[in-house]
Amino acid sequence: MTSSAMASAGCVLDASVVIALWSSRDAHHQDARDLLGQVPTAALLMHAVTAAEVLVGPARLGRTADAERALDELGVRIAAFAPHEVGAVATLRATTRLRLPDVCVLHLAASTGSSLATFDERLAAATVTRGVPLVGVE
């Protein structure tokens, strides 16, 4: 795992980080634990779409409330883009060809001056290209 300096505004978590954290069988489990150990809990942000994405597995098991509690215990703040940002999000989607959930994460990090934590190589590449500080893989 490589990392750059954490932005003072916070650190936006991609689903890959939280999923790895919650699964000891995930190849990035220890990396996720290490990464979250480096970030002040008050600085953790997650897009609402990302939060829904990480809750799918627990929802299948009837454990949504447990997973929501785990996010709260991590200190994750949930955010979304405002209606006036829809055009910027659409442009980012068109120019990066990332999936919309990844675009939401990247836009949130860029618009808040935060770093972005991910283990997704495509998202990491787009993050670096746009000058957003990256935590995770490069």
Give domain limits for the chain: 2-136
The span from the CA of 97 to the CA of 75, in Å, is 31
Buried b vs exposed e over 112-134: b needs ≥16 C-beta within 10 Å? bebbbbbbbeebbebbeeeebbb
CATH of 2-136, one of 3.40.50.1010, 3.40.228.10, 1.10.3720.10, 3.30.300.340: 3.40.50.1010
| pTM greater than 0.85 | yes
For the chain, 138 residues long, give each residue's pLDDT as a single digit of tens.
333 333 347 999 999 999 999 999 999 999 999 988 887 777 899 999 999 999 999 999 999 999 999 999 999 999 998 999 999 999 999 999 999 999 999 999 999 999 999 999 999 999 999 999 998 764
The span from the CA of 66 to the CA of 64, in Å, is 5
SS3 state at 36: helix
The span from the CA of 20 to the CA of 29, in Å, is 5
